[in-house]
Amino acid sequence: MLRLEAAENLTFECETGNYHTFCPISCVRWLYQQIADSFFLVIGTKTCGYFLQNAMGVMIFAEPRYAMAELEEGDIAAQLNDYKELKRLCLQIKHDRNPSVIVWIGTCTTEIIKMDLENLAKLIEAELKVPIVVARANGLDYAFTQGEDTVLASLVNRCPSSHESSLDSMKLPSGGREKQINDVNTSKPEGYLSEVISLTSNGDDINKKSCTKPVPKKSLVLFGSVPNSVQTQLTLELAKQGINVDGWLPSRYSELPVLNKDVYVCGINPFLSRTATSLMRRRKCHLISAPFPIGPDGTRRWIEKICTVLNTDKSSTSLEEVQKNLQQREEKVWKSLQSYLDLVKKKSVFFMGDNLLEISLARFFIRCGMIVYEIGIPYMDRRYQAAELALLEQTCLEMNVPLPRIVEKPDNYNQIQRIRELQPDIVVTGLAHSNPLEARGVTTKWSTEFTFAQIHGFANSRDVLELITRPVRRNQNLDALGFTSLVKN
């Protein structure tokens, strides 16, 4: 039986390096599409505006629903009234777009000058009658993808606590909404699972005590921003096993899921630790700790864990049948990926650290037959990724490969030295280091491509391998044409 303690055998190091990643305000790029009828107001400097213009260059024909509130010298010197300026901008947004919710994204500058965005938002929200959510996604404390984490954690407070209050919660409150959140019953009735459900292989962690009271219906909410097609795929995969998904976070503001002590939540991205903490502490939801649905192996165990926890109805599919069906499905997907597996087998990969997807991708690549020398990651919550770490170690043991080295906040200078010594076949890195490494003959792959690609679920496993094998196929074509030596020189 697989236990969480097994992950302690992995080697963890921390080099206290800087975050060499994209700014987390780039989360606006994909979140404004997932939260329909929303509007994002980024409060920062001209540098922030230039970055967003470049990051969203591909959306030039789509009229994205975001804007910049540029801070001038007068704002930084406290010579201007922040309240009046932000109110004026929000009035203009309401008049021009009439959004269901306005999301303020705080940047490094708002942190440095100590802008009290939360209280300003509360005052302006009461006057404009438009919900305003504040998310601090500054690059001082957060890595690339953690901008989404801060936005979702802020949205948790706006979710209704019951179906009866779901419509009322979408309306602007005059103090009543805060009371709804505080009035959530924090007690746990007999027969409920503990706050965090640890990973096991046979469901021994479920409380099997008899309960004379009727057991409430277990509601499932999934959190993590993915395209609608991926949401549909994962929802259908669970539906095949008799599990109904009652809501997604994020979603349209008027359709935010109900969150209370009767709700079970499960994440689909490894960089949402703050959201998971908010769901447990503020809304008393039960977190299902499972590996993330990246690759056939991760998707299978993600579904199995959810079924282990929620599939308690005798009329539904038995757990043994679920495991059998998922095993057959996983084997079928692996067979369809054989042409890619032949390309990556025995290839070595080195993760420099960028988007916090490194642990899940490394586990999948090891299962594909690759060798992972080092996993650099900007930040990692070991509690939230405990199930993924346990599966990583199990995968290494089954594939008979060494356990990779995990380095949190890696120092890039030290990493370059290790890359020179190890000579990996592929280095997964951010955009800042890709071209310099390529100029020195090191084959690289942009980590941001995995962030923006559809990589979750059985059906999208091919896309992950398509991305990682692209530089391999490119080098093979160069070898065939005799250009490899020219490129390295």
- Beta strand 11-14 with 405-408 is parallel
Same CATH topology for 24-142 and 334-488? Answer: yes
Report the DSSP beta bridge partners of residue 428.
Answer: 351, 445
DSSP state of 456: B
Structure token pair of residue 230: 């991926």
| pLDDT at residue 167 in the model | 52
CATH of range 334-488; options 3.30.56.10, 3.30.2180.10, 3.40.50.1980, 3.90.700.10: 3.40.50.1980
DSSP, residue by residue, 289-324:
----SBHHHHHHHHHHHHHHHH---TTS--HHHHHH
Q: For residue 221, is pLDDT > 90?
A: yes
Residues near 294 by beta carbon (within 8 Å), at least 6 away in sequence: 357, 360, 361, 364, 455, 456, 464
Do residues 250 and 34 lie in contact, with contact meaning Cβ atoms separated by under 8 Å?
Answer: yes
Radius of gyration of the chain (CA): 23
Count of residues in the chain: 489
| pLDDT at residue 185 in the model | 36
Q: Return d(Cα 302, Cα 304) in angstroms, integer.
A: 6
Closest to 71 measured CA to CA, from 100, 35, 42:
42
Tell me if residue 461 falls in helix, strand or coil.
helix
| pLDDT band, very low/low/confident/very high, at 487 (cuts 50, 70, 90) | very low
Do residues 384 and 291 lie in contact, with contact meaning Cβ atoms separated by under 8 Å?
Answer: no
| pLDDT band, very low/low/confident/very high, at 56 (cuts 50, 70, 90) | low
| pLDDT at residue 322 in the model | 87
Q: For residue 313, is pLDDT > 70?
A: no
24-142 has CATH 3.40.50.1980 classification: yes
Tell me if residue 284 falls in helix, strand or coil.
coil
Q: For residue 245, is pLDDT > 70?
A: yes
Locus of tokens 């091919």: 462
Q: Which residue has the higher pLDDT, 59 or 410?
A: 410
Is the bond into 471 cis (omega within 30 degrees of 0)?
no
| pLDDT band, very low/low/confident/very high, at 478 (cuts 50, 70, 90) | confident
| pLDDT at residue 429 in the model | 93
Q: Lowest mean pLDDT of 173-177, 277-281, 383-387, 464-468, name the range.
A: 173-177
Q: Tell me the angle at which helices 295-310 and 319-336 cross, rounded to the nearest 10 degrees.
A: 170
Q: For residue 465, is pLDDT > 80?
A: yes
Mean predicted confidence (pLDDT) in 102-119: 89
Q: For residue 180, is pLDDT > 80?
A: no
pLDDT in tens, 262-280: 999 999 999 999 999 999 9
- Beta strand 247-249 with 371-377 is unpaired
Q: Measure Cα distances from 454 to 120, 171, 458, 464, 468 in Å.
A: 37, 34, 11, 8, 14
| pLDDT at residue 150 in the model | 94
| pLDDT band, very low/low/confident/very high, at 484 (cuts 50, 70, 90) | low
| pLDDT band, very low/low/confident/very high, at 138 (cuts 50, 70, 90) | confident
% of the chain exceeding 70 in pLDDT: 81
CB atoms under 10 Å from CB of 182, counted, come to 9
Mean predicted confidence (pLDDT) in 132-161: 90
Mean predicted confidence (pLDDT) in 152-166: 84
Q: For residue 448, is pLDDT > 70?
A: yes
Q: For residue 209, is pLDDT > 70?
A: no
Average pLDDT score, the chain: 82
Domain boundaries, the chain: 24-142, 334-488
CB atoms under 10 Å from CB of 120, counted, come to 20
